[in-house]
Amino acid sequence: MAVGGFWRAAFALVLLALTPIVHAQRQAPEPELKAAILVNMLLFVDWPTPVGRSPDRLTVCYLAGSPVATALAQLGGKLLKGQPLQVERADAATLGDCQVLYLSPTDASGLPRLASSLPARGILVVGDSPGYLQSGVMLNLEIEGGRVVFDIDLRSARQAGLTVSSKVLRLARHVTE
């Protein structure tokens, strides 16, 4: 009887020791997870025929450095729709080569001015802050219940000439039409 108790206690200790390792493997850091979701979403977006843009690559731009921007940069070179992903820092005046603009939480102050000029350019505007969807962002990533969820402003995306797949729309937490 004492031997059985010993083995149960030993087994419980092994499980307790392995729990953090198993948990760490299941859960990627938030910035890397958001960057991966953003990049995979691009597979389900179609852009208008590029004017003055290089059709041989898909360019994601960001304005300010952030953990998500750093994680995006690490995904540079990945092939999406047969085109290499290029990730680069830009400023608000030089977004001509960008198909996607990622806005970090630190970009909040310039968002209203920036958002008003972007729909005519055919740029998918992506953010990851509460309230960004109401400020002109077309795809917004947030954390809810420990997981990344996203909302889509389909009306703004359509105004920009973008087509978002119904597959993505079905997965969205909220879709504004």
- Residue 15 domain-assigned? no
Q: Is 6 left (phi over 0), alpha (psi -120 to 50) or beta?
A: alpha
Alpha-carbon gap, residue 127 to 105, rounded angstroms: 8
Q: What is the pLDDT of residue 118?
A: 66
Q: First and final CA of the chain: distance in angstroms? A: 66
pLDDT by residue (tens digit) across 107-134? 877 777 776 666 567 889 999 888 888 8
Structure tokens at 86: 């290029």
Q: What is the CATH number of the domain that holds 120?
A: 3.40.50.2300
- Residue 23 domain-assigned? no
- How many domains are contained in the chain? 1
- Residue 5 domain-assigned? no
Whole-structure pTM value: 0.79
Q: What is the pLDDT of residue 68?
A: 94
Instruction: Tell which residue, 103, 101, 107, has the closest CA to residue 119.
Output: 101
Alpha-carbon gap, residue 86 to 61, rounded angstroms: 8
Full residue range of the structural domain in which residue 57 is found: 28-176
- Residue 81 domain-assigned? yes
- Residue 166 domain-assigned? yes
pLDDT by residue (tens digit) across 138-175? 999 998 988 899 999 999 899 889 999 999 999 999 99
Banded model confidence at residue 48, pLDDT cuts 50, 70, 90:
confident
